[in-house]
Amino acid sequence: MNGYTAFDRFLLKVGKIPGALMIVPLFLGVVVNTVAPEALLIGSFTTALFKNGLAVLIGLFFLAVGSQISFRAALPSVEKGVVLLVAKFGVAVLFGLSVAFFATDGVFMGILPLAIIAGMSNSNGSLYVALTSQFGNKTDKGAISILSINDGPFLTLVALGVAGLAAFPLMALFSAVFPMIFGFILGNISSIARKFLEAGEKLIIPFAAFAIGASINLQVLVGEGSIGILLGLATAIFSGGAAIASLYVWHIVRRHPGPTRNLVSAASEASVAGNAIATPAVVAALDPSYLAVKDAATAQIAAAVVVTAFVLPFFVAWLTNWQKRRGVTPENEEAMYEAGSTRTVLEKAAA
């Protein structure tokens, strides 16, 4: 700490906030846009970067994320990722479409179907990696290679399009996901490109977050966004619950012994991704009929991001201790895969 300035120490403290890289710049953008919006409209590169650069920044972010998705992950990691991805997306579609088709005026307690699907189908990859790095094992962390698929608007666009709730021209849909596809290709044919683009996942986030916040008025966030607290809690409870149940069933189907039925990755997936805040804008750009609800959906998702970012670390820590008291640990699971048999794990757990 001797070489740090006072501002460095302040940044280190801010960095301890879960999801700080996304949340802090986002709300700085909201505050500036609410208090002094003219400061972002002085023109030239300032306006281009901090106010109007969201589309470019999100496109670069998707390219960087796509480059980190690899087929080379170990089988358990891939299986975990698929199980969690399907569970989370399934719950989001079930809740979102149920509200759209069966709730009065297509809204449930003020929460919009667009916000439900966009928020619950995405997960905070940075938070997931941070939590599984602290509480999980290698297979938990490796599952991010599959879970990265839910980063961005792709799954939301698929759900709305298939359900007939939105009309997306095929080329418009393709153009929205092409940066991620292109990044995926680059990352898998070149380790140099993959390493080069790796930094983009973190580097772009705070700038994109500020630009997103610069399109939100604090009054809208407090009014419509307060309803998003319910969305955040619903995501943590129902999305997390479905992920945990699905992963536990996977352990049973794969005949994993009791001490190896680690659920840390499932709990770590029960968040709303910060980049999901941009999804309503993407959807509205492809289907103008969503322009009327874009701001409200954005505010609701933003509130849900904050709720899950602060609640989830405590929940994962509690689940880890709960498992440990019952003899279940991530280490036991990892030892099973490394040993190639369950006998070693059972003997170790018994000891």
Most confident residue range from 142-156, 163-177, 322-336: 322-336
pLDDT tens-digit map of 107-149: 888 788 888 888 888 887 767 877 887 788 878 877 877 777 7
How large is the C-alpha radius of gyration of the chain? 21
**In this structure, are residues 84 and 239 in contact, taking their beta carbons and an 8 Å threshold?**
no
Position 320 pLDDT exceeds 70? yes
Residue 167 pLDDT: 57
Q: What distance in Å separates the CA atoms of residue 247 and residue 265, rounded to the nearest whole number?
A: 9
Position 273 pLDDT exceeds 60? yes
Q: What distance in Å separates the CA atoms of residue 337 and residue 345, rounded to the nearest whole number?
A: 9
Q: Which of 60-64, 167-171, 214-218 has the lowest mean pLDDT?
A: 167-171
Q: What distance in Å separates the CA atoms of residue 256 and residue 254, rounded to the nearest whole number?
A: 6
Residue 295 pLDDT: 80
Position 228 pLDDT exceeds 90? no
Q: pTM, whole model, 2 decimals?
A: 0.65
Position 73 pLDDT exceeds 60? no
Residue 205 pLDDT: 76
Q: What distance in Å separates the CA atoms of residue 159 and residue 67, rounded to the nearest whole number?
A: 24
Residue 72 pLDDT: 52
Q: Which residues contact 144 (CB under 8 A, 6 or more apart)?
A: 81, 125, 128, 129, 132
Rounded mean pLDDT, 32-44? 86
Q: Report the share of the chain in percent with pLDDT over 70.
A: 83
